[in-house]
Structure 1
Amino acid sequence: MTDSLTHEPGMDPSHFPPIEDYAFLSDCETTALIAPDGSVEWLCLPRMDSPSVFGALLDRDAGHFRIGPAGVDVPSARRYIPGTLAVETSWWTPGGWLVVTDALLMGPWHHEDERSRTHRRAPTDYDAAHVLLRVLRCVNGQVQVDMDCTPAFDYGRLSPQWSYTGDTYHEAVAAPEGEEPRLRLTTDLNIGFEGPTATARTLLKEGQRRFVALSWSKHPPPATLQDAETQLRWTCHHWQHWLDRGTFPDHRWRGHLQRSALTLKGLSFAPSGAMVAAATTSLPETPGGERNWDYRYTWIRDTAKTLWALNELGLDWEAHDFFRFVADVAEAENGDLQLMYGVDGERVLPESTLDHLSGYEGARPVRIGNAAYNQRQHDVWGAMVRAIDVHTGPHHRVNDRLWRIVRTQVDRALTHWREPDQGIWEVRSGPQHFTFSKVACWVAADSGARIAEGRGEGKLAAEWRTAAEEIRADVLLNAVDERGVFTQHYDTLALDASVLLIPLFGFLPAGDERVRNTVLAIAEELTEDDMVLRYRVDETEDGLTGEEGTFTICSFWLVSALVEIGELARAKTLCGKLLAAASSLQLYAEEIDPHSGRHLGNFPQAFTHLALINAVTAVIKAERAQAANRD
């Protein structure tokens, strides 16, 4: 093993692209982020939660893989090939146009992993090929193209050792002193080595094409340009066929719904059905600050919202796979759910810091793992029961297996709802009687009662309804201030965006004055330039230092809540503003700086895209209902 790498020429150690300027790729096993200059700056292998091979996103020394025109970094344009997760980057140079197309390949072949093969539901699904493909095309003129592939294994701690394969200058292998993972670089360019870097340079003339394939498994990579272009077409067709299965309204915001659906699919882990919160770790919520977390895990609390969004878009296979994952976890845990799990159901997610990494723009520490996994958060029980309720549809009938899960989750909620917890935002200060946590326990009892009724368990349903009413009465007594506004927890007057979920979960009807007062108070008092903070850090002790940006998921919750209370015009205005704040590729990080528009936090953020789907769908339905009433 060797120390982390030194800075390579062309990689400015002081410059990090804005978070929102990265392109996102996925093969539903791992993900990659590509900077505007054509550099892969985030790729973890073999899974999305594995150590990085290219980690320049978190330290300019931690590995990158650039292909682009010599001496030109800033592209003229970038776009996704419509309906896909393949991205095209175009550069205009003094000599001509260059287009580079990047994709994590999908292939119509089967894994050796039996579980992965049997897990697939959709007949159009392909398996991950374990190949990052980069296709170069000179559109006109001529362009000098450089390739610089500098892996840095284990988050930049291990340097690669390159060697030619088969005595050819067109294929090479890199590995950390013979260990795994082994990277194979296959191309029709001549490869050379400069220390830890595999390099190539060529002059492309009008109409000429080249390819570079980076692979990491036994699947054969494309060996020729024709193979590469054929597999790229397969991959694009896979994504387009997948998207065709969805149901998207004919509306001006249709493209945002489709891109969000593709992003959510890309953040799913196909072998298990889990969905990670984001593709990255430790992108800062506060520039230069300590609010840096690892989001490459799946959170139980968002199961119901995930299922609702996927079902709403007609993506029932994905909804079923994700539901099966959380149901398997719940059954294995005998009801003792924790708030998050690894992508294959791992329970223990120990948190540590990578002190050798400088962090994105100096934001430290860089964390891997997430210590919040062992926090007590009461919303997980309601999330699980609500997910089963959503999954079973209007008849609320469940089999014996799911019924056992419902009973254990409702029992946990009713046993513990009077106790404090760390809340939805996973504060690292002391536990409190958080309002949303109580509401989530009400959700467990309320949804459970409907399911019990469907099972013919009338007596139990009545008991759970009585318990739900007791929880609701306690919340109304202790969490509403003198203005008739819901507060963050029982011992404060501070506002919290999580209470926007009260009308969305049906805790109170949207016409209730307390609901209206709360939604409007948050819109007026918990916003910066109309965008919603989760709470004001000077009013909430969360155990951390530094400011935050506005939480985009909370802003989309406000859109949905405004629709619920009949403020459609205001909801449409805010929704339009939020959609305009997306990246140029229609992606979102966790937060947005309301003043600069810059994105903050991990990227792309699954739950922002979930909330977008919910909000946009609510606006569209309300618009159509309003138009029908006029007619």
Structure 2
Amino acid sequence: MIADHGLIGDLQTAALVSADGAIDWFCCPRFDSPSVFGALLDHEHGGWCVVRPVGEDYRVKQLYLPDTAVLITRFMTRSGTGELVDFMPLAPRTHATDNHRLVRMLRSVRGQIDFEVEVVPRFDYGRQAHKTHLTDDGVVFDSGGMTLTLHAVRESGDTRLAAIRVGDDNAVRGRISLDAGEVRGFVLESAADGPPRAIPPSELEHLFQLTVRFWRSWLARSTYRGRWREMLNRSVLTLKLMTYAPTGAMVAAPTAGLPEQIGGLRNWDYRYTWVRDASFAVYSLLSMGFTEEAADFAGWLADRYQDTTGRLQIMYRVDGTTDLTEQTLDHWAGYRGSWPVRIGNGAAGQLQLDIYGELLDSVYQGHRHGLAVGYRGWEAITGVLDWLGDNWDQPEEGIWETRGGRADFTYGRLMSWVAFDRGIRLSESLRRPGQAGRWRVHRDRIYRQIWERGWHKGRRAFVQRYDSDVLDSSLLRMSQVGFVAARDPKWFSTLTAMEEELVVDSLVYRYNPDAAPDGLRGGEGTFSLCTFAYVNALAKAGYVDKARLVFEKMLTYSTHLGLYAEEIGPTGEQLGNFPQAFTHLSLIDAAITLDDALDNTGPQWI
């Protein structure tokens, strides 16, 4: 199951570890590189790395070491209790590297326990064959273009790893036996400098302590002291794990191809950086006190709009390049038969007008928190706004990246209004030159247009597209961005209409695809981002107790490790790519808004 996984990483790539001890998703050397382990999407052809007790008579518990990204999987057997400790020592922050280490540390904490090990790499999404070389100290898997080296962890003179063997499939299998207090395991290293070597347990313990110290010292910088500290800490750690440190870019998710509906077609690649998500990240991280990370993301965004004459691509690779050609992996079956499995993303070239509002709002919020806007940055911002002035009043694909043709989406117009509004405020605050008069004309035109064409008298609500009666939960942000007063009667009626049609037991759908065909067959689950946006809107509208109940109920849908995918299915299962940055960003925003509302109001009736 998607939910049965934890995330580990080194700030350049990441791996998913199942509750049964399997690494079944790992791309290397970057988030958006081809996979080495991909059993999550095809168990037969994807590749995996499993460590588990011998036999089937055991119980499993999984947790993160508190305040870290170190994952502990506990196995309880009749003869003893063992722990598998998975982590990735940090890669260099300032430059990209092909060298990455996956540490799988095994220890017996009670009694005696036998582990079975199976390492089955499948390079380049299972398309590239490899050779396997076994040595006294480990194994080298060589695909020609990439190597993965297994270093054995053992004391000097220990020969108990000699049972490891190479199979006809060029995989490695073996056993590790541990008595109480013993530590063993192995390290998987890409692009290793030299042959396999025996690593003493003391060296492994040192790597463990360094990794723990990094994560705890980083998290200690958080300024959040609200009611949901544990959940927000886990969310911000997850966001950090999805950050590509050399550029400051954050991927939407570290996975590709996980379905929004089991057996459906909506299986996209999210291992890229969306302008929208990065913009939200700036605000969320600033709100928790992580100004350095916010500045890094803001810098990545600045590079994107400074490299353009006005129009932005909606998403980029983590290094800022634009090649995201979409293709399908025809040889992979997909998660639980959900095919096609797509890599790349054809939506990259879409016109989505909302990204300009999110971009300018993040620049504005960053400015309010002390992030400077330099000369080159301001010149680029004016270029973006001048381009938007010539292009905002046209059909687009919209925030949900529909593939059924362009339309006049209200949310795109709303965020265009935000772009001009924030540009005007920045110009005045910074005392920088710009066509503020022209921007003000555009801002006011959009404002009147939305009220005239985005408001549906019959539905008594703002609607998804002009000349339609379709509701859309993206518009829950209308009050948050300041377009409409949070307690305006028309906003109350909009919330009521959404609650009646898009909310099911507190969970929120994006829209009704039957009422608004989006060019794809099938449906999807409720969208977790939208549920947290609903909490935000309710709190701002004064429905504080109701907002808190929705929020608390949403917390019950998290995984055992506090993680969220993109969507939640009818039976409460996690659906879509996992974990998803947008969901965790919106969780942070909702909690902070709700904290503020609860601190400044008395009890409210639901």
Residue pair 1:32, 1:43 contacting (<8 A) in 2 also: yes
Query: Does residue 145 of the first structure (1) align with residue 118 of the second (2)?
Result: no
Q: Residues of 1 paired with 2:451 and 2:440: CA distance?
A: 16
Q: Which residue of 2 aligns with 1:72?
A: 56
Q: Which residue of 2 aligns with 1:187?
A: 153
Q: Which residue of 2 aligns with 1:506?
A: 482
Letter aligned with residue 277 of structure 2: D
- Indicate the SS of the match to 1:259: helix
- Indicate the SS of the match to 1:106: coil
- Indicate the SS of the match to 2:562: coil
Residue pair 1:106, 1:128 contacting (<8 A) in 2 also: no
- Cα distance change, pair 397–325 in 1 and its aligned pair in 2 (3 A): closer
- Cα distance change, pair 272–181 in 1 and its aligned pair in 2 (3 A): farther
1:197 to 167, 171, 196: 171
- Cα distance change, pair 323–493 in 1 and its aligned pair in 2 (3 A): same
Residue pair 2:58, 2:78 contacting (<8 A) in 1 also: no
Matched ranges for 1:182-581 at <5 A: 182-188=148-154, 189-190=161-162, 191-195=164-168, 196-218=170-192, 223-251=199-227, 253-393=228-368, 398-456=373-431, 460-482=435-457, 483-581=459-557
Q: Residues of 2 paired with 1:518 and 1:347: CA distance?
A: 38
Letter aligned with residue 143 of structure 1: I
Q: Residues of 1 paired with 2:213 and 2:599: CA distance?
A: 33
Residue pair 1:275, 1:298 contacting (<8 A) in 2 also: yes
Q: Which moved more, 1:554-563 or 1:372-381?
A: 372-381
Query: Does residue 44 of the first structure (1) align with residue 20 of the second (2)?
Result: no
Q: Which residue of 1 aligns with 2:90?
A: 106
Q: Which moved more, 1:55-64 or 1:135-144?
A: 135-144
- Indicate the SS of the match to 1:322: helix
Residue pair 2:268, 2:343 contacting (<8 A) in 1 also: yes
1:57 to 29, 40, 61: 40
Query: Does residue 30 of the first structure (1) align with residue 35 of the second (2)?
Result: no
Residue pair 1:138, 1:208 contacting (<8 A) in 2 also: yes
Let me know the Cα RMSD of the aligned residues: 2.0
Q: How far did residue 592 of structure 1 move? A: 0.4
Q: How far did residue 540 of structure 1 move? A: 1.1
Q: How far did residue 218 of structure 1 move? A: 4.0
Q: Residues of 2 paired with 1:272 and 1:70: CA distance?
A: 43
Q: Which residue of 1 aligns with 2:157?
A: none
Q: How far did residue 559 of structure 1 move? A: 0.2
- Cα distance change, pair 173–397 in 1 and its aligned pair in 2 (3 A): closer
Q: How far did residue 412 of structure 1 move? A: 2.0
Q: Residues of 2 paired with 1:256 and 1:608: CA distance?
A: 12
Letter aligned with residue 395 of structure 2: P
Q: How far did residue 430 of structure 1 move? A: 1.0
Q: Which moved more, 1:460-469 or 1:508-517?
A: 460-469
TM-score by length of 2: 0.94
Q: How far did residue 456 of structure 1 move? A: 2.9
- Cα distance change, pair 222–273 in 1 and its aligned pair in 2 (3 A): farther
- Cα distance change, pair 212–395 in 1 and its aligned pair in 2 (3 A): closer
Residue pair 1:26, 1:104 contacting (<8 A) in 2 also: yes
Residue pair 2:151, 2:199 contacting (<8 A) in 1 also: no
Q: Residues of 2 paired with 1:245 and 1:136: CA distance?
A: 31
Q: Which whole-Å deviations, capped at 9, do the CAs of 1:426-463 have from their partners, x for residues lacking one?
A: 00011000000000110111001101112435883343
Letter aligned with residue 179 of structure 1: G
Residue pair 2:254, 2:270 contacting (<8 A) in 1 also: yes
Residue pair 1:75, 1:89 contacting (<8 A) in 2 also: no
- Indicate the SS of the match to 1:58: coil
- Indicate the SS of the match to 1:573: helix
Residue pair 1:396, 1:454 contacting (<8 A) in 2 also: no
Q: How far did residue 203 of structure 1 move? A: 2.3
Q: How far did residue 182 of structure 1 move? A: 3.7
Q: Residues of 1 paired with 2:182 and 2:277: CA distance?
A: 47
Letter aligned with residue 204 of structure 1: L
Q: Identity rate of aligned residues, in percent?
A: 38
Letter aligned with residue 156 of structure 1: G
- Indicate the SS of the match to 2:95: helix
Q: Which whole-Å deviations, capped at 9, do the CAs of 1:178-233 have from their partners, x for residues lacking one?
A: 33144344333333212221122132222222121000134688821110111011
Letter aligned with residue 491 of structure 1: D
Letter aligned with residue 115 of structure 2: V
Residue pair 2:140, 2:147 contacting (<8 A) in 1 also: no
Letter aligned with residue 424 of structure 1: I
- Indicate the SS of the match to 1:626: coil
Q: How far did residue 248 of structure 1 move? A: 1.9
Residue pair 1:36, 1:75 contacting (<8 A) in 2 also: no
Residue pair 1:45, 1:181 contacting (<8 A) in 2 also: no
Q: Which moved more, 1:98-107 or 1:353-362?
A: 98-107
Q: How far did residue 549 of structure 1 move? A: 0.3
- Indicate the SS of the match to 1:33: strand
Letter aligned with residue 130 of structure 2: P
- Indicate the SS of the match to 1:314: coil
Q: Residues of 2 paired with 1:394 and 1:248: CA distance?
A: 16
Q: Which moved more, 1:352-361 or 1:297-306?
A: 297-306
Residue pair 1:428, 1:544 contacting (<8 A) in 2 also: yes
- Indicate the SS of the match to 1:505: coil
TM-score by length of 1: 0.90
Q: Which runs of 5+ in 1 are unaligned?
A: 1-17, 118-126
- Indicate the SS of the match to 1:587: coil
Residue pair 2:57, 2:77 contacting (<8 A) in 1 also: no
Letter aligned with residue 563 of structure 1: A
Q: How far did residue 250 of structure 1 move? A: 4.3
- Cα distance change, pair 484–90 in 1 and its aligned pair in 2 (3 A): same
Q: Which runs of 5+ in 2 are unaligned?
A: 155-160
Residue pair 2:134, 2:166 contacting (<8 A) in 1 also: no
- Indicate the SS of the match to 1:503: coil
Letter aligned with residue 28 of structure 1: L
- Cα distance change, pair 90–395 in 1 and its aligned pair in 2 (3 A): closer
- Cα distance change, pair 366–600 in 1 and its aligned pair in 2 (3 A): same
Residue pair 2:305, 2:312 contacting (<8 A) in 1 also: yes
Q: Which moved more, 1:130-139 or 1:506-515?
A: 506-515
Residue pair 2:252, 2:270 contacting (<8 A) in 1 also: yes
Q: Residues of 2 paired with 1:455 and 1:345: CA distance?
A: 28
Q: Residues of 1 paired with 2:374 and 2:25: CA distance?
A: 43
Corresponding residue pairs, total: 592
- Indicate the SS of the match to 1:65: strand
